[in-house]
Amino acid sequence: MTISKVLNQIDEDLPNSIDRLFELLKIKSISTDHAYKSECKKAADWLVSDLRTMGFDANRRDTSGHPMVVGHSKGTGPHVMFYGHYDVQPADPLELWDSPPFEPKLEETKKGKVIRARGAADDKGQLMTFVEACRAWKKIHGKLPVQVSMFFEGEEESGSPSLVPFMKANASELKSDIALICDTGLYGEETPAIVTMLRGLVKIEVQITGPSRDLHSGMYGGISINPIRILTKILSGLHDIDGHITLPKFYDGVHDLSNELKTQWENLNFDHSHFLNEVDLSVPAGEIEYSPLEMIWSRPTCDVNGISGGYQGEGFKTVLPSKASAKISFRLVGDQEPVKIIESLKTYIEKNLPEDCSVDYIEETPSKATHMSTTNVAFEKARQALSLEWPKEAAFVGCGGSIPIAGHFKEILDTDAMLIGFGKDDDQIHSPNEKYDLSSFHRGIRSWARILDQLARD
């Protein structure tokens, strides 16, 4: 079967692909707001019906939250499972949109045509790149080159409460040879990227208590311990002057990059000045001896995401507070063990706690870093397919954040996941005036067609 006819079909059918995406974008599937529950169901039903037109055995699968959509095609060869989400972020503040968020339109901009709507990039537009690729394959060859399943979620923007239970309950149905996830971006403007490293996350809130109640600093100032002073002392000791994290054994399990990946990343020519300038910064603030790209992709971090204590309103109140607290998070890499890091933090805090203070912790379930086994041949095949489609060669990249679904595929289904997406940094996802470049949509469809083609080969 030749890929060129499929690509031609994609090019010719692009206006219809856009129309279909617009239909989906018009549905206000805001998952976090209960008022839009029926809209979420409507989006799920639209997808079921669209998959069925392509011959998929597709169904809406209700949960206690918003429904999942699962569809299977018959076919031979390797089994791929595609994941995307049909729910979107709320659109407010509405007054900041230049056109209504749920009335999608094609817009000419300086950088080319864009699809403007809530969900255009995150994730309806990306989800539909894969659906349209399959549609073109079916149209030309009557069947898909590999066995394809699709799995769409409607709660990604509201914490995915039903996801893990659903995956566990339907593990044998959802298992495949490789999972494909389309919810990430290109590297820069023209370099396709496959995310192979995701950082883990440890979140812990630390609350220091000094006096048993808030005190007046006129009466007690000088004699009473101030928990804010203790907390700041503790927090200030977490980093040395060169950006290293000082907790004992913190770096256990952190590995340096392989030479191969190092070379690939150097070739990406990451413009950290531009990246930082956009938020009015200029100096990379991580461990001094590592490159900026390593700082955000492959090095662990420790950050205080929130700090709180005493009087925080307008003006002043001369209070010596009883309590002060900080929300601390660690981004983990390699084989760092969340449990050991939490233990090391607690030991450090308690060692630095004066006799008159006590400490309480609130923890959230931590996650380890995720590393894809790029030895799975699918990774190299996808990289080659993407390199054929885009002006620049595709790269294996890292991702500083965590995309839980990738870990779930690994942990629950023991399936490697390839995170491939076509978003751009200026897509304004989660913000007003979200857009998806028409070129991302068009080339995205073509990319998946090529990847399916490659995966079908021996």
The footprint of its own copies on residues 125-164 (CB under 8 A) is none
Angle at 271 between CA 266 and CA 275, to 5 degrees: 135
Which residues between 82 and 111 bind its own copies (CB under 8 A)?
A: none
Element (H, E) at 208: strand 200-209
Residues 6+ apart with CB under 8 A from 109: none
DSSP string, 221-253: TTTS--HHHHHHHHHHTSB-TTS-B-STTTTTT
Which residues between 65 and 84 bind its own copies (CB under 8 A)?
A: none
Q: How far apart are CA 382 and CA 371, in angstroms?
A: 17
Which residues between 323 and 382 bind its own copies (CB under 8 A)?
A: 324, 326-327, 329, 331, 354-356, 364
Burial tier of 38 (Cβ tally within 10 Å: 0-12, 13-18, 19+): exposed
Angle at 417 between CA 415 and CA 418, to 5 degrees: 150
Q: How far is the CB of 41 from its own copies (least distance, A)?
A: 28
Which residues between 204 and 233 bind its own copies (CB under 8 A)?
A: 205, 210-213, 215-226, 228-229, 231-233
424 binds its own copies (CB under 8 A): no
Stretch that binds its own copies, among 56-64, 70-78, 268-276, 406-414 (CB under 8 A): 268-276
Binds its own copies by CB under 8 A, chosen from 67, 284, 423, 444: 284
Q: State how far the alpha carbon of 173 is from the alpha carbons of 101, 379, 423, in Å.
A: 36, 23, 29
Which residues between 160 and 199 bind its own copies (CB under 8 A)?
A: 199
Q: How far is the CB of 223 from its own copies (least distance, A)?
A: 4
- Three-state DSSP class for residue 263: helix
Q: Which is nearer to its own copies, 127 or 324 (CB)?
A: 324
432 binds its own copies (CB under 8 A): no
Binds its own copies by CB under 8 A, chosen from 129, 191, 301, 454: 301
Q: How far is the CB of 348 from its own copies (least distance, A)?
A: 14
Q: Which is nearer to its own copies, 314 or 414 (CB)?
A: 314
Structure tokens at 87: 């729910």
240 binds its own copies (CB under 8 A): no
Q: Which is nearer to its own copies, 306 or 391 (CB)?
A: 306
Q: How far is the CB of 199 from its own copies (least distance, A)?
A: 7
Binds its own copies by CB under 8 A, chosen from 4, 269, 282, 375: 282
Q: Which is nearer to its own copies, 112 or 221 (CB)?
A: 221
Nearest to 321 by CA among 414, 411, 215: 215
Structural contact between residues 191 and 390, judged by C-beta atoms closer than 8 angstroms: yes
